[in-house]
Structure 1
Amino acid sequence: MAGHKKHKPIRYDKKKPAGTGAHNAVQNPEPRTGMARAASGEAVRPPSPVQLGLKAGRATLAFDAADTLFFRESRPMEAMGELQSVFPPPMRTLAGAVRTLIGESAAVDWQAYRAEPAHSLRQIIGYDEELGSLSFRGVWLALNGERLYPAPLHLLRKPAPLHLPGEAARIYPLHLDKSPVWCDLGRRVRLPALPEDRHARGARPMEDTWLTREGLARVLAGHLPDPAQLRTADQLFFRESRVGIARDNRRRTVIEGMLYQTRHIRPQPALSIEVDASGLPDSLPNESLVRLGGEGRAARLSVLQKAVDLPAPGAGSGQGIALYLLTPLLMPGGAWLGFARQESGEAGTPTVWTGTLNGIALTLHGAVTGKALRSGGWDMTNQLPRPVTSFVPAGSVFFCTVEGDVQAACEALHDRQIGVQTEYGYGHLAVGPWQDQ
Structure 2
Amino acid sequence: MCMVAYSLSPVDSWFFRDGRPFNQGEKNQTDVESMFPPFATTIVGAIRASLARSKGWNGHGDWPSEIKDKLGDGEHLKPLKFQGPYLIRKINGIIEPLFPAPLNIIGKEPSFDEVNWTFSYLNPGNGIDCDLGNEVKLPAATNGTGMKRLNGFFFNKDDMQTILQGNELQHINPIRGKRVSRFVQDYDTAPSPINILWDLEYTVGIERNYQKRTAKEGAIYSSQKVRLCQNVALAMNVSGLTEDLELPATLTFGGESRIAYAEKLENPIGIPEAPPLQSSGGVTRFTVTHLTPAYFERGLAGPGEEFYGIHGTKVISACLERPVRIGGWNSIPARKGPIPLKPFIPPGSVWFCESEKEVAEKVRDLNGCHIGGYTDFGFGQILIGLWKEGA
The whole-number CA distance in structure 1 between the counterparts of 2:54 and 2:384 is 39
Corresponding position of 1:149 = 99
Query: Residue 379 of structure 1: CA displacement?
Result: 2.1
1:218-240 per-position Cα deviation (integer Å, ceiling 9, x unaligned): 11211244555321113100011
Query: Residue 188 of structure 1: CA displacement?
Result: 3.6
Equivalenced residues, count = 359
Specify which of 129, 152, 158 is matched with residue 214 of structure 1: 158
Corresponding position of 2:368 = 415
- 1:377 is aligned to 2:328: yes
Specify which of 175, 193, 201 is matched with residue 123 of structure 2: 175
Corresponding position of 1:424 = 377
Matches within 5 A, 1:331-346: 331-333=296-298, 335-336=299-300, 339=301
Quick check: 2:294–2:380 contact (8 Å CA) kept in 1? yes
Query: Residue 393 of structure 1: CA displacement?
Result: 0.3
Corresponding position of 1:67 = 12
Using a 3 Å threshold, how does the CA distance of structure 1 residues 406 and 161 change in structure 2: closer, same or farther? farther
Please report the RMSD computed on the Cα atoms of aligned residues, expressed in angstroms: 2.2
- 1:105 is aligned to 2:49: no
Corresponding position of 2:239 = 278
Using a 3 Å threshold, how does the CA distance of structure 1 residues 249 and 397 change in structure 2: closer, same or farther? farther
Query: Residue 356 of structure 1: CA displacement?
Result: 5.4
Using a 3 Å threshold, how does the CA distance of structure 1 residues 281 and 102 change in structure 2: closer, same or farther? farther
Quick check: 1:414–1:431 contact (8 Å CA) kept in 2? yes
Quick check: 1:361–1:404 contact (8 Å CA) kept in 2? no
Using a 3 Å threshold, how does the CA distance of structure 1 residues 187 and 246 change in structure 2: closer, same or farther? farther
Q: Which runs of 4+ in 1 moved over 6 A?
A: 249-252
Quick check: 2:85–2:234 contact (8 Å CA) kept in 1? yes
1:343-372 per-position Cα deviation (integer Å, ceiling 9, x unaligned): xxxxxxxx52235524x3211011001221
Using a 3 Å threshold, how does the CA distance of structure 1 residues 225 and 308 change in structure 2: closer, same or farther? farther
1:56-104 per-position Cα deviation (integer Å, ceiling 9, x unaligned): 3100110000111010012222425421111111111111111111111
The whole-number CA distance in structure 2 between the counterparts of 1:187 and 1:254 is 62
Quick check: 1:216–1:225 contact (8 Å CA) kept in 2? no
The whole-number CA distance in structure 2 between the counterparts of 1:283 and 1:248 is 46
Specify which of 270, 276, 286 is matched with residue 321 of structure 1: 286
| Aligned AA (2:276) | A
The whole-number CA distance in structure 1 between the counterparts of 2:366 and 2:148 is 29
Specify which of 39, 42, 58 is matched with residue 90 of structure 1: 39
- Normalising by structure 2, report the TM-score: 0.85
Specify which of 263, 287, 290 is matched with residue 224 of structure 2: 263
Quick check: 1:79–1:260 contact (8 Å CA) kept in 2? no
The whole-number CA distance in structure 1 between the counterparts of 2:242 and 2:15 is 28
1:86-145 per-position Cα deviation (integer Å, ceiling 9, x unaligned): 11111111111111111111113566744x5xx111111112111131110001000112
- 1:435 is aligned to 2:381: no
The whole-number CA distance in structure 2 between the counterparts of 1:297 and 1:147 is 24
The whole-number CA distance in structure 1 between the counterparts of 2:351 and 2:306 is 13
* Partner SS, residue 49 of structure 2: helix
Using a 3 Å threshold, how does the CA distance of structure 1 residues 242 and 123 change in structure 2: closer, same or farther? same
The whole-number CA distance in structure 2 between the counterparts of 1:247 and 1:410 is 59
* Partner SS, residue 216 of structure 2: strand
Quick check: 1:73–1:86 contact (8 Å CA) kept in 2? yes
Corresponding position of 2:304 = 352
- Normalising by structure 1, report the TM-score: 0.77
Unmatched segments (≥5 aa) in structure 1: 1-55, 342-350
Quick check: 2:277–2:361 contact (8 Å CA) kept in 1? no
1:30-81 per-position Cα deviation (integer Å, ceiling 9, x unaligned): xxxxxxxxxxxxxxxxxxxxxxxxxx31001100001110100122224254
The whole-number CA distance in structure 2 between the counterparts of 1:225 and 1:406 is 29
Quick check: 2:54–2:248 contact (8 Å CA) kept in 1? no
| Aligned AA (2:326) | S
Query: Residue 407 of structure 1: CA displacement?
Result: 3.8
The whole-number CA distance in structure 2 between the counterparts of 1:397 and 1:206 is 13
Query: Residue 252 of structure 1: CA displacement?
Result: 7.4
* Partner SS, residue 116 of structure 2: coil
Quick check: 2:8–2:262 contact (8 Å CA) kept in 1? yes
Identity of aligned residues (%): 25
Query: Residue 411 of structure 1: CA displacement?
Result: 3.5
Quick check: 1:171–1:227 contact (8 Å CA) kept in 2? no
The whole-number CA distance in structure 2 between the counterparts of 1:76 and 1:109 is 29
The whole-number CA distance in structure 1 between the counterparts of 2:296 and 2:77 is 19
* Partner SS, residue 365 of structure 2: helix
Corresponding position of 1:128 = 74
Unmatched segments (≥5 aa) in structure 2: 180-195
Matches within 5 A, 1:386-397: 386-397=339-350
The whole-number CA distance in structure 2 between the counterparts of 1:129 and 1:248 is 39
* Partner SS, residue 216 of structure 1: helix
Is 56-65 or 247-256 further displaced after alignment?
247-256
